[in-house]
A and B are shown apart, each in its own frame.
Chain A
Amino acid sequence: MLVSFENIIDENINEKVMTLQQVFKREHFEGFIETVPAYNSLTVFYDVAIIKRRYQIEITAFDFVKLFTEDLILQLNRGIVSKPAAIIIPVYYNGEDLDSVAQQHQLTTAEVVAIHTAKPYRVFMIGFLPGFAYMGKVDERIATPRHAAPRTNVKAGSVGIAGLQTGIYPLHSPGGWQLIGQTPLKIFDIHKNEPCLLKAGDSVQFVAISKADFERLNEY
């Protein structure tokens, strides 16, 4: 079931999504599977058979989950303000598209880097690939549309811009984002108990590092 909030990309709307997700973690029904937060929506996955068996309801499991969720949304206003985790991501700004992004905006590459690292970004959602964090919003001065023809292979760790969004490719993958740098950190590691470094709602601060630091820190 998809719970949609106002149809815009906005930190406050996303905060509502994250709060509702927190409420679901604390309070849910039997047959609840998981929730997936996105920019302006929370999707609730549930097991129809378990709900029907456990609650012996006449209404559909869908309506049951809908009523349950509406009840939780009423509680949202009572507010639980969670402090987002702040995560520092070092980036060696050497991306293949850094020069062209700078040129398109009549900036120097140093200015692009300064603007990209000037403020923390919110992780609005994770999707597309395991661990791919959609972050924003990027300063209008460096916002750049994605490539019309995606690259067939983007290296894991690549940091990119797509419109007002910024993100990191956690795996080697095809991709159309404007690549401006490379992080030495593994964003997604199947060998860890918590494989994903980031989650929706986190705050990410990029920090520029040198080539030497990149090589020293490189986890790939």
Chain B
Amino acid sequence: MSIKIIKPGVLSTLQDAGRYGHRSIGVGSGGAMDIFAMQVANYLCGNDEKQAVIEMNFPAPEILFQQDAVISLAGADFAATINESNVPVWRTLFVKKDAVLKFKQPLSGAKLYLAVNGGWQVQQWLNSYSTHLKLASGGHYGRALQKDDIVNCSANKFSFEENKILSWQISAYQLEEIYRPQNSIRCIKSAEYDLLDDSSKQNLLQNNFIISNQSDRMGFRLMGNTLSLKQSTELISSAVDAGIVQLLPDGNCIILMADHQTTGGYPRIASVIKADLPKLAQLHPGKAIHFKMITIKEAEDALISMCEALAEIKYSCEHSLKKYLQY
């Protein structure tokens, strides 16, 4: 009732929707970088949105299935193969015992999620399966997957004769709504936006920023025109959140991502809207982004649209799966 990691990838970790209610003791929410793909991966294989998934980067791991399983891949496209046959992303897959899942090349996106019917049976800490790397807690022993690791899943309840790609899929339209246009990232003003000088306010919106190599699950550092404040100010630290764009002392910006610290003292000039964090998470270092400032109302409407799209996908997955699986 498990998979075995034949070759490890780069930072493959167990993640879920995140760990909430503990920021006041310095434990951030963490969780999947692309919360949309994480949830869709779960829906595609008949789970609710709370199950753990494996978040993979390229190079991604090579995985041996030690049992039959109903799985799904969602998010980035790493040219997946099962027993050397190509398999698509955003689909439900039936996988037979002894099948090997490999990934050949990064075609698009940065984060790929692997879900299994019933969920991965890994450690929960503070009500979340997400891997807290710093505390070595949650997920698979609080660390990235390594060669020869065995990750358990529930017993497969379904019978099928061979590896199979189910025919229905997530609509291209729904995916475009979330992930396109690829480099346009919507944001709202954050607490210290008005401390920026006028030309920096213009620069923020008129210029492209490149995601630097020094980017990880904690934050994306940006390269581009440097920004400055009207006058230098010493801020008193307070809480921060994923999506917040902080202005560093050298004039460059960092966008806080899933594993960010819970508090910070750098000026918060903008905040990437929640609905665009999945899109941002799928961008590699080297990619350019362009900020677009919108209102809080528009930001909330975008988030509601994403939630509605997810609810629709959940509903249609349940119905489509019923045709194949008796439950």
Contacts and interface: CB of A to CB of B under 8 A. Distances in A.
A169 to B, nearest CB: 12
A190 to B, nearest CB: 5
Interface residues of A, number: 41
Contact of A60 (B22, B239, B241, B297): B297
Interface in B252-293: 261-264, 274
A48 B300 contact: yes
Contacts of A4: 191, 238
B25 interface: yes
Contacts of A129: 26, 134, 261
A41 B300 contact: no
A199 B238 contact: no
A58 to B, nearest CB: 10
Instruction: Classify chain B: how many residues form its interface, as a range.
Output: 20 to 34
Contacts of A37: 24
Residue among B262, B263, B303 facing the most chain A CB atoms (10 A cut-off):
B263
B27 interface: yes
Contact of B238 (A41, A48, A170): A41
A2 B236 CA distance: 13
B263 A128 contact: yes
Interface string B230-259: 000000111101000000000000000000
A45 B261 contact: no
Interface string A1-19: 0101001110000000000
Contacts of A60: 296-297, 300
B168 to A, nearest CB: 26
A49 B241 contact: no
Contacts of B134: 129-130, 171
Contacts of B238: 2, 4, 36, 38-41, 43, 125
B219 to A, nearest CB: 14
A134 interface: yes
Nearest to B241: A45
Interface string A46-87: 001100100000001111000000000000000000000000
Interface string B295-322: 0110010011001000000000000000
B236 A9 contact: yes
A109 interface: no
A147 B155 CA distance: 54
A2 B137 contact: no
Interface in A128-145: 128-132, 134
A41 B260 CA distance: 19
A33 interface: yes
B107 interface: no
B26 A2 contact: no
Interface string A78-120: 0000000000000000000000000000000000000000000
Given A9-B236, A33-B20, A45-B23, A125 B191 contact: no
Contact of B21 (A34, A126, A134, A188): A34
A150 interface: no
Nearest to A171: B134
A7 B304 CA distance: 34
A49 B301 CA distance: 9
A127 B296 contact: no
Given A33-B20, A45-B241, A127-B262, A7 B236 contact: yes
A38 B236 contact: yes
A49 B308 CA distance: 9
A130 B22 CA distance: 9
Nearest to B303: A48
B135 interface: yes
Contacts of A209: none
B300 A62 contact: yes
B158 interface: no
A134 B263 CA distance: 11
A2 B191 contact: yes
Interface of B: 20-27, 125-126, 132, 134-137, 191, 236-239, 241, 261-264, 274, 296-297, 300, 303-304, 307
5 contacts: A33-B21, A34-B20, A36-B24, A36-B238, A41-B236
Task: Give 4 nearest A-B pairs by CB, closest first.
Answer: A127-B263, A43-B239, A36-B239, A196-B25
Given A37-B24, A52-B304, A200-B24, 10 more contacts: A8-B236, A39-B236, A39-B238, A48-B300, A49-B303, A126-B25, A127-B237, A127-B239, A127-B262, A130-B26
Interface of A: 2, 4, 7-9, 21, 33-41, 43, 45, 48-49, 52, 60-63, 125-132, 134, 170-171, 188, 190, 195-196, 199-200
